[in-house]
Amino acid sequence: MDSGAPNLTELDQLAAETGSLTGRKHLLSLTVENKPGVLARIAGLFSRRGFNIDTLAVGPTEDPNFSRMTITIDGAKHPIDQVTKQLNKLINVVKLRDMEPRETTAREMALFKVSAPVESRHEIMQFAEIFRGRVVDVSRKSMTVEVTGPADKIEAFERMVRPHGLIEMVRTGEVALGRSPADS
């Protein structure tokens, strides 16, 4: 018997390909050619196929010919398999990785402008400290805090400061790299 092919005797033994909806957030890391129109092609593909991008971060890489795009997308709503296959079909997409959460370092940066009258200023600074954030701008009425971390940390900080009056908030979207094996 050939090891690669099980001794199939009944069709009932066959299972259909699964993986349409995974139910979790996916972080896709794309290496794309640095050419005009690449972003438009990718954004267009998402809208045409009815996929929603949660966050998108684009920037240069170690090689000037390529850019890195990090896209987060909800696997409870989208068949990730189709999303990655369609993205892979774009000629300008050179490499695509659906990052394995446990083997990935993901970070996002956010700026929070919080209403900060004298009486609550201290508490906000304490939150910033707990979250290893930095106060980057202060006025008499408000304070801007920079927080970096995985998306859930950013969201936790948001929950903390929202009751104080969140005036404005901006997030970069996550960027990510695969973790190196421990011995290297």
Partner 1 sequence: MMEALKVEGVEYIFGIPGGANLPVYDAVHGADFTHIHARHEQGAGHMAEGYAKASGRVGVTFATSGPGATNLVTPIADAQMDSVPTVFITGQVRTDLIGTDGFQEADITGITYPIVKHSLMVTEASQIPEYVHEAFQIASTGRPGPVLIDVPQDLGRAEIDYEPNTKPVELAGYKPSVEGNINQIKIAAKALASATRPVIYAGGGVINAEASEELRELCLVDDLPVTCTLMGLGSFPAPNEQWLGMLGMHGTRAANYAMDEADLIVAVGARFDDRITGKLSEFAPNAKFIHIDIDPAEISKNVAAHIPIVGDAKAVLTALTSEYRALQPDGTRLAEWWGRISEWRKEYPLTYKDSKDSTIKPQAMIESLNRATNGEAIVTSDVGQHQMWVAQYYDFPQPRRWINSGGLGTMGVGLPFAIGAKIACPQETVVCVTGDGSLIMTVQELATAVSNDVPVKVLLMNNGHYGMVRQWQELFWDSKHVAIEMGESPDWVKLADAFGCAAARVDDKADLDQAISDTLAEEGPALLDVRVDPTENCYPMIPAGAAARDMVG
Residues that bind partner 1 (CB under 8 A): 2, 4-11, 14-18, 20, 32-33, 36-37, 40-41, 44-45, 48, 81-82, 85-86, 88-95
Task: Choose between 87 and 116: whose C-beta lies nearer to partner 1.
Answer: 87
Task: Choose between 45 and 135: whose C-beta lies nearer to partner 1.
Answer: 45
Task: Judge whether 178 and 104 are in contact, CB under 8 Å.
Answer: yes
3 state SS of 109: strand
Shortest distance (Å) from residue 174 CB to partner 1: 23
Task: Choose between 33 and 137: whose C-beta lies nearer to partner 1.
Answer: 33
Shortest distance (Å) from residue 41 CB to partner 1: 5
Shortest distance (Å) from residue 82 CB to partner 1: 6
The token pair at 164 is 């104080």
Among 156, 145, 149, which Cα is nearest to 175's? 149
Task: Judge whether 28 and 98 are in contact, CB under 8 Å.
Answer: yes
* CA distance linking residue 126 with residue 43, whole number of Å: 40
Shortest distance (Å) from residue 23 CB to partner 1: 17
Burial class (CB in 10 A: 0-12, 13-18, 19+), 52: exposed
Shortest distance (Å) from residue 57 CB to partner 1: 20
* CA distance linking residue 38 with residue 92, whole number of Å: 7
Task: Choose between 4 and 23: whose C-beta lies nearer to partner 1.
Answer: 4
Task: Choose between 44 and 101: whose C-beta lies nearer to partner 1.
Answer: 44
Place of tokens 């936790």: 156
* CA distance linking residue 127 with residue 180, whole number of Å: 31
Shortest distance (Å) from residue 50 CB to partner 1: 12
Task: Choose between 61 and 126: whose C-beta lies nearer to partner 1.
Answer: 61
3 state SS of 116: coil
